[in-house]
Amino acid sequence: MSKEADLITETLKNMTEQIKLMASVQMAVVTYLGEKDHKFRSDVISEVLAVDKFRESFTNFLLSRDDAPDEVKLQMIEINEGIKEIKEGRDNA
């Protein structure tokens, strides 16, 4: 490998470790605050589910699990249908 490729590889490794650390700290903060404050927890969940890619991924994960409660699966389907209706309404406006 060239010196530049080695530098890029090392930089990517360092960045990956830093991102993992930031994710761990953020998860600890969200978990702590989420256990203390139901509104905070709801707001975080709403923000995550507002991103199509994350919501769809989570929905697929739930639907693929036999041990996920049917009520949770149904709620995610309803959320997706509601968002679809909102988007279709926007597109038709």
Q: What is the pLDDT of residues 8-49, one digit of tens each?
A: 999 999 999 999 999 999 999 999 999 999 999 999 988 999
pLDDT of residue 93: 61
% of the chain surpassing 90 pLDDT: 81
Length of the chain: 93
Query: Residue 91 pLDDT more than 80?
Result: no
Q: How confident is the model at residue 87 (pLDDT cuts 50, 70, 90)?
A: confident
The type of residue at 90 is R
| Separation CA 20–CA 4 (nearest Å) | 24
Over residues 65-83, mean pLDDT: 93
- Same domain, yes or no, for 1 and 41? yes
Structural domain of 28: 1-46
Domain count, the chain: 2
- Same domain, yes or no, for 4 and 40? yes
| Separation CA 93–CA 87 (nearest Å) | 10
**71: Cβ–Cβ under 8 A, 6 or more apart, which residues?**
none
SS3 66: coil
